[in-house]
């Protein structure tokens, strides 16, 4: 990532916010046969249940639609993941697009995480409605995000890099209410 236009925004960690390391990301689309092959090649069972994520080691697969998954792996796994998926899916109809440079990820965490996100997200984020392991595309104010509850008080936000500073700025505005 030597291209300065592709550098992640410079956002500092806070008690409730942590920028996550760069990652390899693919949008995968395909039918049942392609999903089975991709699961084996990527090393994570692609979720069959709507709005759920599966994790194996440092890799994750997030259900975004009936035939659409977001695959996430550490940045250093890019070449191996791409090659394994290409080999496994060679003769199966599918679509796989590398979106690694399009997005950045942040973790919103702590006892006020749900409240901070609820300030700009139209979903009910109470754990009874949005439990650990649930993920979905949604909006935070005017920015599209992928939201994934990874722990009781922890959420991962996948954001287009061009919207990251806006989303963090709006989260900061919400956080001011906590200190007022």
As a 3-state breakdown, the chain gives helix, strand, coil percent values, each rounded to 5, of 30, 35, 35
Q: What is the pLDDT of residue 1?
A: 46
> CA-to-CA distance for 159 and 141, rounded, in angstroms?
13
Is the pLDDT assigned to residue 139 strictly greater than 80?
Answer: yes
Question: Is 5 part of any domain?
Answer: no
Question: Is 1 part of any domain?
Answer: no
Q: What is the pLDDT of residue 39?
A: 98
Q: What tens digit of pLDDT does each residue of 81-93 get?
A: 999 999 999 999 9
Q: What range defines the domain where residue 46 resides?
A: 14-179
Q: Domain total for the chain?
A: 1
CATH number at residue 155: 3.30.1360.120
Q: What tens digit of pLDDT does each residue of 5-31 get?
A: 555 567 777 789 999 999 999 999 999
Is the pLDDT assigned to residue 98 strictly greater than 60?
Answer: yes
Task: Kindly state the tokens that stand for 65.
Answer: 């639609």
With bands split at pLDDT 50, 70 and 90, how would you rate the model's confidence at 3?
Answer: low
Structural contact between residues 55 and 135, judged by C-beta atoms closer than 8 angstroms: no
Question: Is 2 part of any domain?
Answer: no
């Amino acid at each position: 990532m030597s291209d300065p236009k592709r550098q992640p925004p410079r956002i500092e960690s806070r008690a409730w916010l942590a920028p996550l390391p760069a990652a390899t990301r693919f949008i995968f689309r395909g039918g049942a046969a392609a999903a089975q092959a991709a699961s084996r090649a990527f090393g994570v069972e692609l979720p069959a249940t709507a709005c759920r994520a599966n994790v194996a080691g440092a890799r994750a697969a997030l259900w975004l639609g009936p035939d659409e998954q977001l695959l996430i792996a550490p940045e250093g796994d890019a070449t191996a993941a791409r090659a394994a998926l290409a080999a496994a899916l060679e003769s199966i109809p599918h679509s796989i697009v590398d979106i690694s440079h399009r997005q950045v990820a942040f973790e919103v965490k702590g006892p006020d995480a749900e409240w901070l996100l609820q300030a700009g997200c139209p979903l009910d984020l109470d754990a009874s409605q949005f439990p650990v392991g649930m993920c979905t595309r949604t909006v935070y104010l005017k920015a599209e995000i992928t939201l994934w509850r990874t722990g009781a008080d922890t959420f991962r936000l996948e954001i287009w890099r061009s919207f990251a500073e806006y989303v963090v700025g709006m989260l900061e505005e919400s956080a001011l209410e906590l200190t007022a």
